[in-house]
Amino acid sequence: MTQQHLAAAVRTLMPRAKADLAELVAFPSVADPRQFPVEECRKAARWVADALAAEGLTGVQLLDTPDGTQSVYAELPGPAGAPTVLLYSHYDVQPPLDEAGWHSPPFELTERDGRWYGRGAADCKGNILMHLTALRALREVDGGLPVGLKVIVEGSEEQGTGGLERYAEAHPDLLAADAIVIGDTGNFAPGLPTVTASLRGMTVIEVALTTLAGNLHSGAFGGAAPDALQAMVRLLATLHDEHGDVAVAGLTADQVWTGVQYDEAQFRADAKVLDGVALTGTGTVADRLWARPSVTVLGIDAPPVIGATSSVQASAKALVSLRIPPGMELKAAQQALAAHLEAAVPWGAQASVTVLSGGEAFDADTTGPAYEAMGQAMREAFGREMVASGEGGSIPLCNTLRTLYPQAEIILIGVEDPTTQIHAVNESVDPQELERMALTEALFLRAYARLRPA
């Protein structure tokens, strides 16, 4: 059957994809029991397992991973001599943040101005539907799959707790494949077919400062009593120089990105930077996003403005995230950041600096038959040549898979793009991107079966 038959099948499957995505988005599957019941994640896992079983996949299992979450596994043997492809995605999502900022309920898929809104609509439940729609189209048009297939859908990727990584290390044969398609990124711009060739690694560090036995009246003691919140503000300010570049000894911040560039005006529009507000850092936007480290303060424990009292604060806590580019070693970067924080604590405040999690950066080899097949598939689906970009985010599982299966090609694609606002309020997916990426994946599986030597 021709590409046109497959494209028509994907198009007719889009109403089903929307209905399925609505069901999946309805589960508030945040893998943090402090925020949402664990049962919501388990319901989402069961939904994914049932959906894969309904498509004829065998060996469907709910894997209990060491971090207490569940990953969904399924497989389907291919024709004799065919290569094996592993498809990856995750069903857990980021918390909805300020629900008042959403224009529609975050866990209710809502169509507005041609887009589908909801937490996880793009990251990463939309990518689960990309996989499912591709498989459904191939079954409908070709009557089956041209490759052996494995599917793994993680339950704690957003939390970075490493459950699936540890499970894979303990069961090294489970996810073995010739090619691995990570459905957790997306196109550099809507309509521009993109593979993600590099990922920054990341680590998260918690820093706590204590200066007093307890809070004090700011009138009676302010001006001499050391304020822990003020100390925290001073400490965090040392992480960047006057340009906004990272100012941590040992974290080089002058690397250059040589691939596709990110136009500054387009970045300002994608990031919704307010008029008159300058971007931070130096170098090109691509340098700053994909080739250099970045430090972000994720949160601060401090009194809220409403309800605050006239007090000198006795303690404060902050969560600091560090992203590192390929070529920068994780443990050395963690040590550099921790040492900087410890050395920069003002006024002799009592400090606790704790490394919470981390994952290495990833750099893909884009020269094998799987990438050739993906290039063909994207050209047919989009009518444009595939480009390779970087990604400022992190997927620690990629390095685990590369270590376990060094001969496997790892390709990162997905339905996300700068307009989807993943991790933010009003996350959405463009159904046209979902349709084109589902077609891309179906075409890839066909092409890879032809190109990969038996």
Q: Active site residue: 157, 165, 430, 433, which one? A: 157
Of 70, 63, 64, 66, whose CA–CA distance to 31 is shortest? Answer: 70
**Three-class secondary structure of residue 262 per DSSP:** coil
Backbone angles phi, psi at 416, to 5 degrees: -80, 150
Please give the Cα distance from 115 to 113 (Å, whole number).
Answer: 6
Please give the Cα distance from 157 to 163 (Å, whole number).
Answer: 8
Please give the Cα distance from 409 to 367 (Å, whole number).
Answer: 9
Please give the Cα distance from 128 to 72 (Å, whole number).
Answer: 12
Cβ-count burial 221-237 (b if 16+ within 10 Å, e if not):
eeeebbbbbbbbebbbe
Q: How many CB atoms lie under 10 A from the CB of residue 367?
A: 9
Residue 199 β-bridge partners? 362, 391
Of 80, 21, 196, whose CA–CA distance to 454 is shortest? Answer: 80
Which element (helix H / strand E) includes 74? strand 70-76
301 flagged as catalytic: no
Please give the Cα distance from 185 to 391 (Å, whole number).
Answer: 8
Q: Active site residue: 20, 40, 92, 227, which one? A: 92
1 contacts: CB under 8 Å, gap ≥ 6: 141, 142
154 flagged as catalytic: no
Burial class (CB in 10 A: 0-12, 13-18, 19+), 439: buried
Please give the Cα distance from 209 to 311 (Å, whole number).
Answer: 16
Write down the number of H helices and E strands in the chain: 12, 18
Positions annotated as catalytic residues are: 92, 157
